């Protein structure tokens, strides 16, 4: 179905869909699309339109064709960018160049990990490598960079640029500079060599960080073998088993899984050295300084001040949390009562469950996937005038029959884009919740139309059965809302340039829209519109929602402190070289920012895979949560369905993607300039108990 036909169908049927009434067995079209298995129509003559409607991708070999077309267009656009006079056209050509490569590379990046067909995955992997190599060459193309510098070095021309165009031009130039474009030939070749080496080291560390460790079967008590995977005369340990109620299982998993690997240790040390060397080579004090340019935090010094101040303000609460855990450990294991790092996740969960009775199975019947999608649809309709419309994908458009396609339609602006929902578990699919940009939004000067964004949301949920729809735990529901926050960031932006579309913005701002959605997911005024028992139709009791919200605060300071420790470790690793091992640094940071003892002969840092994608930016989640908390409390807590506030939120924060300084977007929303102290206070206040909840619980 073409975009025009699709929109016509949506508009013609909107009034019909709006009047469908929900009861126990009947959902709106969005709910029905997710609460039942799809009935595939069989049309032998239906043409295969290719993945995401890209005609070339009707078969694996099509990736080679799509890559060839993209690279041919790249050559033409490079020639145009280098020859056209400096001005707006220069930036538009750069963005067109970036868009042509991203449309193939981003799609391939998703397909290589998510497609069930190995042939498609392999073809996509080759495309990623081929386009990645071209991008590396473009980032060191002196003539291409010169065309951009000629533009930005001319004050008269710069004065005529609109703010978005100027910012995008500066961001493109930054990409050149961090690749060493401004260096002489010898140093530039050295920078390119470091980039290539880092690609290999990053991949080696990522793969190694997830590899299991093993130990002789005889070294572990026989009655515990069933908790681990057997491999002949060895036991394989592939994770921390943090939720196991057995103390010894948790301890064994911790000691074995985190046992140091000499090759991985060398890989990490070399990786950090290369990052520092590259940063210094292109003119930065450290890799952290390079990574934080353009973020809300801006410098490593600001990040460390934020983490230290947060630690100081949480210290008493953190001590109280650990005291509660010690008491519970003593109660559960009188003979082995010392609190250890492997106890934290398990005991905090026990304390929450004991105090608030938040067994997930009590909530799940009220949270079918379909009702949650209806809830999201209602929320977006109230806040932004946006509806989610279920569409039937064409032949070959999706990679699994379980994938659902949603058109995102605004009440006056029309079709905004598409969300493909890959929500259900299947063999070989990555077990992670994430958002992928397949195609970014941009104004196409060449066609005079707006290029609609396309994204994928990937979860790993159980399939519906004949007797019941897919039922979500509260955690799954929050994750769904979180990922949909990323998707709506992509949909509601209307940026002129795809280089800054949607989530293509600084990391410490990119998580704000998704974390803000978690607040809506736990507010009864929002939940009451959709959470119904799938069999009886009864609403989810308000007291259960209140207990769930309060339970999150139990051990909240200790949980936050653990995140602070990880963020501080990340900062120190990416600062100036310390002439000591990564393990020695870890021991010091664990003592300073966490409190539970370091266990000898362990190396948790070798499992810290976020060092690759979040290098020097792991703090981003904490800072984003602080901003989201401030936006929620100042703008939405009085009325979470307030349309005026929703429009302001879209206008001030969602619409710009990365085309505006992140702190300016925050200031626009809050109508004041927040400080680091404000961010810290927002996180600390999150842990304050809601006394109304205690009163309500006691009355019920």
pLDDT digits (tens, 9 = 90+) for 607-653: 999 999 999 999 999 999 999 999 999 999 999 999 999 999 999 99
Edge to edge, the sheet with strand 234-237 lists 213-216, 234-237, 229-231
Mean pLDDT, rounded, for 280-309 = 96
Mean pLDDT, rounded, for 60-77 = 97
Mean pLDDT, rounded, for 521-544 = 96
- H helix or E strand, kind and range, residue 333: none
Residue 694 has pLDDT above 70, yes or no: no
pLDDT of residue 29: 85
Task: Establish if 158 belongs to a structural domain.
Answer: yes
pLDDT of residue 441: 96
pLDDT of residue 26: 56
Task: Establish if 408 belongs to a structural domain.
Answer: no
Q: Where is pLDDT greater, at 355 or 2?
A: 355
pLDDT of residue 15: 35
Residue 336 has pLDDT above 90, yes or no: no
CATH of the domain at 77: 1.20.1050.40
Q: Which phi and psi (to 5°) does residue 162 adopt?
A: -75, 160
- Alpha-carbon 296 to chain mean position: 17
User: What percent of the chain has pLDDT above 70?
Assistant: 94
Sorting pLDDT into bands at 50, 70 and 90, what band is 17?
very low
Q: What average pLDDT does the chain have?
A: 91
Mean pLDDT, rounded, for 119-130 = 95
Sorting pLDDT into bands at 50, 70 and 90, what band is 41?
low
pLDDT of residue 19: 33
Sorting pLDDT into bands at 50, 70 and 90, what band is 39?
low
Residue 31 has pLDDT above 90, yes or no: no
Task: Establish if 315 belongs to a structural domain.
Answer: no
Nearest CA to 372 out of 480, 487, 490 is that of: 480
Residue 27 has pLDDT above 80, yes or no: no
Residue 690 has pLDDT above 80, yes or no: no
pLDDT digits (tens, 9 = 90+) for 388-404: 999 999 999 999 999 99
What residues have CB less than 8 Å from 130, skipping those under 6 apart?
Answer: 67, 71
pLDDT digits (tens, 9 = 90+) for 199-218: 899 989 999 999 999 999 99
Residue 512 has pLDDT above 50, yes or no: yes
Q: Return the structure tokens found at 370.
A: 């379909």
pLDDT of residue 195: 87
Q: Which of 335-339, 466-470, 545-549 is predicted least confidently?
A: 335-339
Nearest CA to 605 out of 577, 583, 636, 575 is that of: 583
pLDDT of residue 692: 39
Residue 9 has pLDDT above 70, yes or no: no
Mean pLDDT, rounded, for 522-526 = 97
Report how many domains make up the chain.
1
Cα separation of 173 and 156, whole Å?
18
pLDDT of residue 474: 95
pLDDT of residue 259: 97
Residue 4 has pLDDT above 80, yes or no: no
pLDDT of residue 42: 61
DSSP 9-71: HHHHHHHHHHTPPP-SS---HHHHHHHS-------TT-----GGG-GGGGSTTHHHHHHHHHH
Q: Where is pLDDT greater, at 8 or 426?
A: 426
What residues have CB less than 8 Å from 360, skipping those under 6 apart?
Answer: 473, 474, 475
Provide the domain limits for residue 126: 54-180
Do residues 499 and 98 touch, judged by C-beta distance below 8 A?
yes
Nearest CA to 525 out of 638, 629, 627 is that of: 638
Task: Establish if 43 belongs to a structural domain.
Answer: no
Task: Establish if 436 belongs to a structural domain.
Answer: no
Residue 169 has pLDDT above 50, yes or no: yes
pLDDT of residue 295: 95
Cα separation of 256 and 229, whole Å?
13
Q: How many CB atoms lie within 10 A of CB 364?
A: 19
- H helix or E strand, kind and range, residue 86: none
Q: Which active-site residues does the annotation give?
A: 483
Sorting pLDDT into bands at 50, 70 and 90, what band is 2?
very low
Sorting pLDDT into bands at 50, 70 and 90, what band is 252?
very high
pLDDT of residue 194: 92
pLDDT of residue 43: 65
**What CA dihedral angle connects 632, 633, 638 and 643, to 10 degrees?**
-30
pLDDT digits (tens, 9 = 90+) for 409-421: 999 999 999 999 9
pLDDT of residue 40: 63
Task: Establish if 592 belongs to a structural domain.
Answer: no
Sorting pLDDT into bands at 50, 70 and 90, what band is 3?
very low
pLDDT of residue 689: 77
pTM: 0.91
Residue 219 has pLDDT above 60, yes or no: yes
Task: Establish if 398 belongs to a structural domain.
Answer: no
Task: Establish if 415 belongs to a structural domain.
Answer: no
Q: Return the structure tokens found at 609.
A: 């895979």
Mean pLDDT, rounded, for 67-75 = 97
Q: Return the structure tokens found at 414.
A: 């029309």
What residues have CB less than 8 Å from 477, skipping those under 6 apart?
Answer: 367, 372, 521
Cα torsion angle, 477, 483, 489, 492, sign? negative
Do residues 264 and 205 touch, judged by C-beta distance below 8 A?
yes
Residue 449 has pLDDT above 50, yes or no: yes
Q: Return the structure tokens found at 494.
A: 């209307």
Mean pLDDT, rounded, for 48-55 = 96
């Amino acid at each position: 179905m073409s975009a025009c036909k699709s929109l016509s169908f949506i508009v013609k049927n909107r009034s019909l869909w709006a009047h469908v009434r929900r009861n126990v067995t009947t959902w709106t079209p969005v709910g029905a699309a997710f609460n039942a298995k799809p009935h595939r129509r069989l049309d032998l003559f239906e043409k295969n339109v290719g993945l995401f409607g890209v005609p070339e991708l009707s078969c694996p070999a099509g990736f080679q064709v799509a890559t060839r077309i993209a690279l041919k267009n790249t050559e033409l656009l490079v020639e145009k960018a280098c020859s056209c006079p400096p001005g707006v056209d220069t930036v538009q050509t750069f963005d067109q160049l970036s868009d042509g490569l991203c449309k193939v590379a981003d799609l391939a990046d998703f397909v290589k990990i998510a497609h069930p067909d190995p042939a498609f995955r392999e073809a996509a992997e080759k495309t990623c490598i081929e386009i990645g190599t071209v991008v590396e060459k473009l980032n060191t193309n002196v003539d291409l960079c010169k065309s951009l510098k000629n533009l930005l070095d001319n004050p008269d021309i710069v004065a005529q640029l609109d703010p978005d165009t100027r910012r995008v031009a500066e961001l493109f130039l930054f990409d050149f500079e961090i690749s060493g474009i401004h260096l002489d030939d010898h140093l530039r070749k050295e920078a390119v060599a470091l980039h290539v080496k880092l690609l290999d080291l990053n991949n080696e560390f990522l793969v190694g960080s997830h590899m299991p460790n093993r130990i002789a079967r005889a070294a572990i008590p026989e009655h515990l073998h069933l908790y681990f995977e057997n491999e002949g005369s060895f036991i394989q340990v592939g994770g921390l088993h943090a939720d196991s109620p057995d103390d010894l299982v948790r301890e064994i998993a911790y000691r074995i899984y985190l046992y140091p690997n000499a090759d991985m240790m060398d890989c990490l040390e070399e990786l950090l050295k290369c990052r520092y060397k590259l940063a210094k080579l292109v003119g930065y004090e450290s890799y952290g300084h390079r990574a934080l340019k353009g973020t809300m935090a801006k410098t490593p010094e600001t990040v460390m001040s934020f983490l230290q101040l947060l630690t100081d303000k949480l210290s008493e609460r953190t001590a109280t949390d650990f005291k509660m855990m010690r008491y519970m450990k003593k109660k559960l294991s009188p003979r082995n009562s010392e609190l250890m790092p492997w106890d934290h996740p398990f005991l905090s969960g026990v304390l929450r469950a004991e105090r608030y009775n938040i067994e997930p199975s009590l909530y799940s019947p009220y949270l079918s996937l379909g009702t949650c999608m209806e809830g999201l649809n209602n929320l977006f309709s109230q806040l932004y005038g946006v509806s989610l419309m279920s569409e039937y994908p064409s032949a070959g458009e999706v990679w699994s029959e379980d994938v659902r396609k949603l058109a995102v339609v605004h009440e006056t602006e029309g079709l905004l884009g598409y969300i493909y929902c890959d929500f259900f578990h299947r063999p070989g699919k990555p077990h992670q919740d994430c958002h992928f940009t397949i195609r970014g939004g941009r104004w196409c000067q060449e066609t005079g139309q707006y290029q609609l964004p396309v994204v994928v949301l990937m979860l790993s949920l159980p399939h519906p059965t004949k007797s019941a729809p897919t039922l979500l735990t509260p955690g799954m529901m929050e994750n769904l809302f979180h990922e949909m926050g990323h998707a709506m960031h992509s949909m509601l932006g209307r940026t002129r340039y795809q280089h800054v579309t949607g989530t293509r913005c600084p990391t410490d701002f990119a998580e704000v829209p998704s974390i803000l959605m978690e607040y809506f997911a736990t507010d009864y005024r929002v939940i009451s519109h959709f959470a119904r028992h799938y069999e009886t139709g009864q609403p989810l009791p308000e007291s259960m929602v209140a207990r769930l919200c309060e339970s999150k605060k139990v051990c909240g300071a200790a949980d936050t402190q653990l995140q602070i420790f990880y963020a501080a470790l990340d900062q120190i690793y990416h600062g100036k070289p310390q002439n000591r091992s990564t393990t020695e640094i870890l021991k010091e940071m664990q003592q300073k920012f966490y409190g539970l003892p370091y266990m000898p002969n362990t190396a948790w840092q070798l499992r810290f895979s976020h060092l690759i994608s979040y290098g020097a930016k792991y703090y981003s989640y904490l800072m984003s949560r602080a901003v989201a908390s401030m936006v929620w409390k100042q703008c939405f807590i009085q009325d979470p369905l307030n349309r005026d506030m929703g429009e302001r939120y879209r206008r001030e924060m969602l619409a710009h993607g990365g085309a505006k300084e992140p702190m300016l977007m925050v200031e626009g929303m809050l109508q004041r300039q927040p400080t680091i102290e404000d961010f810290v206070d927002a996180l600390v206040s999150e842990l304050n108990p809601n006394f109304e909840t205690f009163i309500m619980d006691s009355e019920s």
